[in-house]
Each structure stands twice: as structure tokens, then as C-alpha cells.
Amino acid sequence: MTDLTQLNLADARDGLAKKQFSAVELTQAHIDRVSASSALNAYVLETPEKALAMAAESDAKIAAGEARPLEGLPIGVKDLFCTKGVRTTACSNILGDFTPPYESTVTQNLWNDGAVMLGKLNNDEFAMGSSNETSRFGPVVNPWKAGDTALVPGGSSGGSSAAVAARLGIAATATDTGGSIRQPAAFTGTVGLKPTYGRCSRWGIVAFASSFDQAGPITHTVRDAAMMLSSMASFDKRDTTSVERDVPNYEAALTGDIKGLRVGIPQEYRVDNMPAEIEKLWQQGIEWLKAAGAEIVDVSLPHTKYALPAYYIIAPAEASSNLARYDGVRYGARQQGTDIDDMYAQTRAAGFGDEVKRRVMIGTYALSAGYYDAYYVKALQVRRLIAEDFTKAYEKCDVLLTPTTPSAAFEIGKNVEDPLEMYLNDVFTVTVNLAGLPGISVPAGLDGDGLPLGLQLIGQAFGEETLLRTAGVLEQAAGFDAQPQDWWSA
């Protein structure tokens, strides 16, 4: 039998349907691989028994001819998603051994469609980070290496991207607040899709910044991303920011035909110091789409340079309030104190890592009396202008093509002491979150060190079908089939 962990989601689905292997076999192959992968630190909790039980149920469904869309397909879940009866920590000490008595809507949707849970995946603490180095469980190591140098897998969904790249799960759930799906996908040669804000329910996902947070998949292929999104997306009465709108069959949108599609190239994304390789790849992407019959249009997103500062005010502001509930009173870790205020201080000082503290402090400051108008209100105005930039651009085009990141994966520890340098990782992705639009990163090539690079497509609100169709064409043209060498299996 072939190595079942080498299959992508669509192929595994077809193999199961043809009874070439069972869901239990498929799951067992992944469990074995996961258990040998501790060098990557992608999983923070493995749930093999649960996985096998779910897989056995899937086999019964398949045998009964009642296979659901993701029947028997083993996936990993970012530790930001609350999973009933399974420890959920957002990779923060402050949640201790918190075990939710409820299941997030997105993961419930996946289980309802037959998917199998392999375990919980590492991420930056509370999804705050671009390198997966802020996790309480320690950094995730990118399966891709430049020589002997250990690299970050991107963040905050670094466990998800590393797991998919290292084939420790056929797909993974992830979340994207400022680029946390697309940037790690770009760093690991995987596909990362951030849907339109409101497409997936946020209910049961540990909140970072509520007006940005959105769940999405990290997968091997664009088709796999479409399959995952078809299950993950739903209107949810329990999340009033989710949008009541039918969920199309996204896989059906992958026609491969983009003739006449207008692809916008935003001039402001040519930033200073962008590596020539990335510039070149971007140009290559333009050529690929042109060759497939798309029309290339130059567009302007004039407020792009204000996006990062605005994001790093609004997101921390929301986070400072969202994280107030972690106070040691009702659940999670508590440090005793001399009185209630001291208990709060001790608990939060011990429970939060440096990056979380930094953002809570920035956010608290930005919302303080006397600073609110100068920072928070101003940032909201910028946010509106950025959304308007996109609206205007979309009068001239249907999707936008940009690089996903300004660099390939970097060395672990390189940016830890320089938060601003770290924040610059989000420069191409964060505008999409500010405008609430869908974006996807597609692996498009390797740099001189043999590291993967991604191109980003940005769609119109709820334009996931066009976005995926275009991404499919880009994927086809790029023909990216490189894989990291397995140096980690024990």
C-alpha cells in the first residue's frame, strides 16, 4: 500500500470511496506519523483514541453508503478552537488545563461532515504572533530547512501549517486575524484560505480581536481548501457577526476557467527592501494568470501604508478587552494573592507571555481617556479608508494578486527581540483583515535557499468562488510539488 499520509484531502476521499483503504487505516497512518514528529512540536495534544473511534464510525458510514463530505479524513485542530472534553488552551498558561464543555461551531461542522480529529495544534499564544514562538508549549519548527538552520513555520497558525506540510494531518483548521493563516501557509508551501469576515462562525473560538478573527483551512491544495471551507462555513445564530447566506459547493467553483477575469495589481504592494525573488515571483504570477486568459489591471490602494499601524491599534484594543476574562476567578490557572487585585495581578503576570502582555498594554493605552480619539478613533477611520480603497479597486478588477509575505521563513529567534520587525510580516495580509475580505495564499515557488514562497489572491466580500477558481489556476500553473525532506521523524 502507498503511504497514506502522502494523499491530499480529495484523493483520500476518493480512495475511501473506492474502498482502497479504510478510514481507520488512513487515520492510523497519520497517528503513527504524528507520534514520531515531536521534533516539530506541531501538536500540543494528540487524541489518537478519539481519532480511531471517529474513523471507525466513518468506516461504518462508508460501508452503509452514507459517507458525508469529509468522511474519515483525519485533520488537526488549532488549539484556539474549543473542543468538547478536549483540553483547549490557546497555547497560553493562563488557561491551565481548561477543558471546554462545548464544541466550537466550525469544528462541530467538520465532525458533522465526518472529519476525524487527530489532536490540537500549536499556535502563538492567543494567536498573537507571526512565528509561533510565543506558545506556552514552545516554538513549532518548520519542516522546511535552509541548510541546518531551524526556521519558524509562520504564525500564529504555525502548528497547522507545519502539520500539513509535514503530513501530520491531511488538513488543519486555522484562524487569521492579521495574516495568521496565509503567512504560515506561505512559509510552509501549503495553501491557506482566510474567508470573508462572517463566513465562518466565531462561536467557540478563543477570541483575539473580534472584528478581525476568522477561521479557515490550511491544506495541500486549493481543492482541499474548497472542500474544507464548504464544511467549515455556516451561518450561526450564536454569532451575530456571521452572515446569513447560503454556503455554495466551493469545489464546484474550480472550473479552471478564468478567461476574461480582471486581475488587479496594487502598486502600493511594491515595498522597499522586498527581495528580488519575491518581486520576480509576483511577476511570474502575473504572467501565469495572463497566459490563462486573465486581463491584468493596475490598481491603487492608496492607504495601504497606514494599514499596519491601524491594525496594531485596533487589534490590541479589542484584545485588551477580550482577554480581561482571564482573571483567575472562574477557570484556568490562578495564582493566589493577598487580595482580589493582587490575585488578578499575580494570575495575569504568570499566565500571559510577553507578547500577549505587550498587546494588552498597547490596547489598554489606545483606549484610555485622552488617547482614545488620537489612536483608536483615528485607526477606525483608516480602516474605513482602506475598505474604500478595495471597493474602488474592485470597480476595475475582480481579484487582486500580491505576494503573501515580504520574505521566506526566517530563523527561529531572529525577530523575537524586535516586535516591529515581526509585525512587518503582516504587511501584505493585514489589509485584507481590515477590509474583512477573503484571501488565499498559494505556494508558487522556491527561493534561492530552497524555501517555499507564496502568492496571495484577494477576493471581494463573499467572492470565495472566484477567489478559489483563480487560485486553482495559479496552483496549476505554478505546479508546486516540492516537499520538505523528512529530517524530523523519530
Partner 1 sequence: MAENKNLISGATGDWEIVLGLEVHAQVASKAKLFSGAATEFGAEPNSQVSLVDAAMPGMLPVINWFCVEQAVRTGLGLKAQINNYSVFDRKNYFYPDLPQGYQISQFQQPIVGEGAIEIDLADGAVKEIGIERLHLEQDAGKSLHDQHPNMSFVDLNRSGVALMEIVSNPDMRSAAEAQAYVKKLRAILRYLGTCDGNMEQGSLRADVNVSVRKPGDELGTRCEIKNVNSIRFIGQAIEYEARRQVDLIEDGGTVEQQTRLFDPKTGETRAMRSKEEAHDYRYFPDPDLLPLEFSQEFVDEIAKDLPELPDEKKARFINDYGLTPYDAGVLVGEAENAAFFESAAEGQDAKAVANMVIGSVFAGLNKADLDIADSPVSAAQVGQLVGLIADDTVSGRSAKEVFELMFEDGPDQGKNPAVIIEEKGLKQVTDTGAIEAAVDEVIDANPDKVAQAKERPKMAGWFVGQVMQATGGKANPQAVNKLVMLKLGLE
Cβ of residue 243: shortest distance to partner 1, in angstroms? 10
Q: Between 182 and 202, name the residue whose CB sits nearer to partner 1.
A: 202
Our answer to whether residue 156 is catalytic in this structure is yes
Distance CA 235, CA 232 (A): 10
Q: How far apart are CA 209 and CA 212, in angstroms?
A: 6
Cell of 105: 461551531
- Of the two residues 260 and 370, which places its CB atom closer to partner 1 in the complex? 370
Reading phi first (left if > 0) and then psi (alpha if -120 to 50, else beta), residue 450 is in left
- Pairing mode, if any, of strands 171-176 and 214-219? antiparallel
| x/- map, 232-271, partner 1, by CB under 8 A | -----xxxxx------------------------------
Neighbours of 481 (CB within 10 A): 7
- Selected range binding partner 1 among 165-173, 325-333, 408-416, 443-451, rule: CB under 8 A: 325-333
The dihedral region occupied by 257, where left means phi > 0, alpha psi between -120 and 50, and beta the remainder, is beta
Q: Does 204 bind partner 1 (CB under 8 A)?
A: yes
Tell the smallest beta-carbon distance from residue 237 to partner 1 (Å). 7
Q: For partner 1, which residue of 20, 35, 99, 210 counts as binding (CB under 8 A)? A: 210
Asked if residue 276 binds partner 1 (CB under 8 A), the reply is: no
Q: Is 211 in the site for partner 1 (CB under 8 A)?
A: yes
Which of 86, 162, 228, 317 lies at the binding interface for partner 1 (CB under 8 A)? Answer: 317
Catalytic residue among 156, 320, 407, 441: 156
Q: Has 230 been annotated as catalytic?
A: no
Q: Does 367 bind partner 1 (CB under 8 A)?
A: yes
Which residue among the candidates 130, 135, 160, 180 is catalytic per the annotation?
A: 180
Binding-site member from 207, 307, 393, 455 for partner 1 (CB under 8 A): 207
Nearer to partner 1, 90 or 228 (CB): 90
For residues 15 and 37, the answer to whether their CB atoms sit within 8 Å is no
User: How many residues sit in the footprint of partner 1 (CB under 8 A)?
Assistant: 44
User: 252 or 374: whose CB is closer to partner 1?
Assistant: 374
With CB under 8 A as the contact rule, which of the stretches 90-98, 271-279, 350-358, 464-472 interacts with partner 1? 90-98
Per-residue contact string for residues 330-359; x = within reach of partner 1 by CB under 8 A: xx--------xx--x---------------
* Min separation Cβ 451 and partner 1, Å: 34
93-132 residues in contact with partner 1 (CB under 8 A) are 95, 98, 100-102, 104
Q: Which is nearer to partner 1, 30 or 202 (CB)?
A: 202
Nearer to partner 1, 271 or 372 (CB): 372
Which residues sit opposite 51 in a β-bridge? none
| Nearest residue (CB) to partner 1, 5 versus 88 | 88
**Of the candidates 250, 182, 253, 254, which has an alpha carbon nearest to the alpha carbon of residue 218?**
182
Residue 57 CB, nearest approach to partner 1 (Å): 26
User: Is 78 among the residues known to form the active site?
Assistant: yes
Do 484 and 144 touch, CB atoms closer than 8 A? Answer: yes
Active centre residues (catalytic): 78, 156, 180
Residues near partner 1, by CB under 8 A: 81-82, 88, 90, 95, 98, 100-102, 104, 202-207, 209-211, 237-241, 317-318, 320-321, 323-325, 327, 329-331, 340-341, 344, 364, 367-369, 372, 376
